[in-house]
Structure formats: C-alpha cells, structure tokens
Amino acid sequence: MKFLNCILMLIFVIFYDALEFSVRGSRPLVVDLGGSVLLPCSVDSLVSVEKVKVEWRKTDSEIVVHLYHDGDIRPEAQHEDYRDRAHFFTDDIKHGNFSLLLTNVRQEDKGVYRCKVYSEQGAEKTLVEIKDVEYLIVSGSDQSLSVYVGEDVTLNCSVDSHIPSEHIEEVSWKKRVQDEHITVLLYQNNEVYPDASDERYRDRVEFFSDEIHRGNFSLRLKRVRPEDKGLYMCHVFAGRFSDNTTVILGSSGLSGLHIVVLILCISACGSALLLCSLICRSNNTGRRLLLHVHLYFCPNILILLAFVLWGTTEASLNEMISCGVVCVLRPLRLLWVTPYINDFPGVIKKNIESSHADLYFPAVLGTMYSALLAEHFRGVNTVSMMVICALLVLVCLLFIIQLAKRFEKLLSGFGRLCKQMYEKVGKRVAACGFFVLPSIELSVLLYPFVGYWTVFFAVALPVLACLSLLCRCCKNAREAQQYFSLYLDKAVWTLMSALSGILVWVYIAVLRNEKKEYVGLVCMGGFLQVLWMLIFSEIPVNYSKRWIRSIMFQFGAVGLILVFSVALMVEVILVAVNGERLMGDLRIGVFPFESLFTIPLLILPIFTHRTPVNTTSHQGSQNSVEADAFPTTKSTGLDQNQTGESHEMETLRKDAENSVAIEEIT
C-alpha cells in the first residue's frame, strides 16, 4: 500500500510540473523619444491560445495598454493613450510570444509595465521597465518674422533634452545662401566662437548668455540689413542625437529711416530744380548770388544726409564715406564751371579763377582711402599698416600744403625764413606726392584684396613714377613755352589718358574675383584717376564759351542730384519690398556720373581756345565789354606784358631775399 502511494505521488508531481508555466520578461530598457521599443513577454511552456488571457497594464495608473482574450486581440479595450501605438505580434502568439511593440514613444511612457498571463493552470506575470526616455527636441518660431531694416530681432531656438545643456556639444546657427550654408554663430563645448561667423554677421550676432543653461539658444541679430532676409537654421548636436529648427526672416516694408531717406532725396531734387529755375529767371545780381549759394550747398547737404542715414544700416563704411565726400566737395567743381562768375565779389571771383584740382584731389583721395583702410583694418598686419598710414600722412600733407597756398599772404607775418622753408618743403612734398600718388593709389586700393602687393610695388611703382615725372615735365615745358602749348597739352592729355586707362585695367584684372566690391572699387578707382588727370588741366572757368559752362553747370548742379536721388530712392524701395538691393553698391551709380561730369573739365582746355588777346586800346575796350558778358575772358595784351614784367621783377627780388636769408642763417 505504501508503495502504491509513492507511485501516485510521483505521477502527481510529474503532471503538476507539466501543467505549470512561467512568464519571462527583460531587464530595464532605455528608449529614444519618438522611437519604438519591444516589451518582452513570453510563456516557457505550450498553452492553449484559445483559453489564455494576456493583459498588459502600466502599474502606476493600472490603465490597459493592450489585451488578448479568447483567441482574439481586443484593441477596443486599450486606453486612448496607447491606441494605435501598442501592438501584439499576431503570428507569434501561437508560440507563446505575447511581447508588445510600443511605437512613437513619448516621455510619459516611462514607467513599469506588467504582462499577466491567465490560463487553466493559473496566472503568471512579469514586469518590464522603461527606465528612461532619451530625447532631444529643438523648437523655434512657427511663423515668419518681419522686421524693419536697422532694428534688432531675436531668432528663437529652444532645446529640450534629457541631456543637460552643459553637455550639449554644438549649437550652430546657419543661413542658406543660394546653394550653401554660411555660419552665423557657433556654440561649441560650452564656448561661443564669434570668429567663426561669416564676415557679414560679425559683431552683429550674439546668444543670450544668461539663458543658455536653460536650453535657450536664441540668436539676437542686431542692425538688420536687407541681405539678412532669408531662411535660418538652428542645428543642435548632443551625443548621438541631433535636431534642428528653422526660422524665416522677412521684411516689413518701409521703416521710419527709409521714409526719412526718401523725403531727403525728394527734397534734394525739388530744391535743385527750384533754385536752378529761379537763378535762370533772376536779373538781380544780389538775389542771384544768394540763390547760387543755396544751390551749391542745399541739395548737396540734403543728399549727403540721405547717404549718411542710408549708410548707417544698409551700406558699408567705405561706400557711405566715398559717396558722401563727393557731395561735400561737389560745390568746388560747380564753381569752376559757373556761368555767373561775375555775380561773386572780387576776392571770391579771383580765388575761383585761380583755383585748381591740386586741392580737390588730395582731399578726395585721403578721405576715401582712410575709409577703405578702416573697413579692412583687421586684415592688415603691423608693418603694412605703418606703410599705409605713412602714405596717408603724405596725402594729408599734400592737402595742407595746397590749402596753405590759398592763404600764402598770411605766411608773410612769420618772416622770410619761415616762408622760404615753407616753399622748399612744400615743393618737395608736393613733387613727391605727385610723382607717386598714382602708384600709391593703386597699391592702397588693391592691398586688402591681393597678397602680392610687394611685387606690384617693386615693378609698377618705378614705371608709374617715371610716367608721372614725364607728364610733369611736359606740363612745366608747356608753361615755359607757350608757343608749343597746344601740342604739349594734347600730348600730356593723351599720355595721362593712356596711363589712367592702364590703371583702371589693372583694377579690373585684380579685383574681378572680389564679387562683393568688385564693380564699386573699380568705379571709385576710375574716378580718382580722372581727378588725377585734372591736376594737369586748367579749369574751364578760364575759357569764354559760356554756353558750354552753362550746360556743365546745370548737369552738375541739377543732373547729378537727380541721378543720385533717383538711384538712392530705387535702392530704398527695393530693399523695403524685396529685401534686396538693385546695384548692391551705390558707388556703381555715383562715380561713373561724377566721372562724366569731370571728364569735360579735361577736354575743354585741350579743344577749346581762349578769347583772342588784342593790344590796341579799342580792342582792349572791346575785351572789357566782352569780359562783362563772358567773365572768364583774359585781360589785354598790354596788361599781360606788364604782368610778365612784374613777375620777372618779383622773381629777381625773391632770389635776392633768399640769398640774404641764407647768408644770415650761415
């Protein structure tokens, strides 16, 4: 009997083990946000799938994640948070695999999940934990930003991640320009690298330093320019994660500054037309002189203010100063061609008749190249900076000396010795500056853009200096030999034209790879060459064809103002509407027309003859009458002879004084 009981107990144990089952799970899981995860749950013994019930729940809330019952999957039993996201493997259920695939994982999915299997033998369960959900979310602005030019704007970029902000490896702001992306600002390994920014954005972009630890990598863009319009991307890298967001920056039409610029341009056009019309109709000398003064200064001051306001937000420093300096100095050239010179008082009239381009040229040259040097200051090394500064000092000295010549009488109060020293130093500085200014001009203009400027100095400078010296000798010979003046004038004019043409060709050849400033710099260089040639020419005020001077005067006083105003207004309107400039550089529109106004000043002395000089008293009286009609007519031959004799006597007297002064010094 005992033996039978033992056999029955053994059979019971064997069958009990066969009926028992267990459920296997897995270790804790780490999941990527938005990814998919497998929650394992399988039975290690065969069970009848028709008589089994499998229930997946989240332990913290006991909500049903999924349910399998009586051989069917029951999606209607799912909680709405998991509907269409949690799935059984239908084909594997018959093999005892009740694992669950959870897709599009969310942060709130983190927690413990329970898989419980019910069968005829009983119920077993296993726990599966989603320990962490790793994520990196970069968000920005959903709408396009609109901002006026010149204002500041913030481009939003917020980082939400399980990774602390100090462990974020890189945040880069980039802008798409055509087919490439340029770097706006870079944050890497807890440091901001402003030098990595494209030159168009340097010193204009920054992060909010106090907000970085909160994951705020928004970008502040200061002094918005029209070319800033476009698509920006904030790209974040952290470990094996990366994400990005985009921001579209647009424009909001005309800003207050744009409206002011338009008003100034319209006022400049209106004042130029009105004043010119009043001058032509006025017969009162005093009133006409007052209108002249207003015409010389008012339109040019208005357009100068427009250029300055435009340059503070839209243009480069060199563009603003280059366009501004021609507006400031244009009245001097208008005085050279004014047909109403008799309206001016005697002293002013005399100074106008004796004026020359040797004062105008150094002023323009020094101002423009100072602006060019300041704009490209960072790319110039110390030695080159010293050389360029020395050249600019030479230009300034040349300007001061030419200015002092206008007030030479004031020097007489300082004694003969000071006057002699001034004359000697002034001649040498002026000669030195005149001989090398073309080469200096070309070298300074090209230096920020090319690296072989030493070769140019070594080869081109002596050649150009010799050509300049030859031209100067021709000019001196022309002054000494009036008989050959006509032929020498044409020879000098031809030589200077050829030299200027060669220099402009060099500008084009060297600067053609500089897409940004290529055309503007070439136009500026060509205008400076025209001014340099003007030093050899006499001002047309000494010539008697009043109708020619009248045309030139109206073109310079009204035509140039209209052209500049229209060009600037077109740029303003296109920037406000399209966010892009038409010319890209106003020097392209300014300097060709300035050259067109200046070139006749070179041609007239060559191809226009002076009023014939008569020696008789009757002819002298006739010349006096003509002088009233044509203020630039020369004096009679008798006056010229007397003037020549007086000049010779003055020269002998000065030589004697110089000898006495030298003896006193020694």
Better pLDDT: 381 or 179: 179
Confidence of residue 637 (pLDDT cuts 50, 70, 90): very low
- CA–CA distance, 15 with 542 (Å, rounded to integer): 132
- Tokens encoding 208: 């909010």
Count other C-beta atoms under 10 Å from residue 1's C-beta: 5
Q: Give me the DSSP letters along 97-146.
A: B--EEE-S--GGG-EEEEEEEEETTEEEEEEEEEEEEE-EEEE--SS-EE
Q: What's the pLDDT tens digit per position in 87-123? A: 998 888 888 888 999 999 988 898 999 999 888 777 8
User: Which of 307, 372, 325, 393 has its CA nearest to residue 507?
Assistant: 372
* pLDDT of res. 438: 52
Highest mean pLDDT: which of 219-228, 384-393, 573-582?
Answer: 219-228
Mean pLDDT along residues 656-661: 42
- CA–CA distance, 18 with 14 (Å, rounded to integer): 6
Q: What's the pLDDT tens digit per position in 114-164? A: 999 888 777 888 899 998 888 888 888 777 888 777 788 899 999 988 888
Q: What's the pLDDT tens digit per position in 275-328? A: 888 887 877 777 877 887 888 888 989 988 988 888 776 666 777 777 888 888
Count other C-beta atoms under 10 Å from residue 194's C-beta: 14
- Tokens encoding 22: 């267990």
- CA–CA distance, 408 with 400 (Å, rounded to integer): 12
Better pLDDT: 501 or 170: 170
Confidence of residue 56 (pLDDT cuts 50, 70, 90): very high
User: In 252-261, which positions are buried (b, 16+ CB within 10 angstroms) versus exposed (e)?
Assistant: eebbebbeeb
Distance of CA 587 to the CA centre of its chain: 13
Residue 77 has pLDDT above 60, yes or no: yes
What is the sign, positive or negative, of the torsion defined by CA atoms of 384, 389, 395, 401? negative
User: Which of 363, 291, 280, 355 has its CA nearest to residue 327?
Assistant: 363
Report percent pLDDT > 90 for the chain: 8
- CA–CA distance, 174 with 186 (Å, rounded to integer): 9
Q: Which residues pair with residue 134 across a beta bridge?
A: 32
Q: Characterise 519 by phi-psi region: left (phi > 0), alpha (psi -120 to 50), beta (else).
A: alpha
User: Which of 342, 239, 234 has its CA nearest to residue 288?
Assistant: 342
Q: Which residues pair with residue 640 across a beta bridge?
A: none
Better pLDDT: 408 or 584: 584
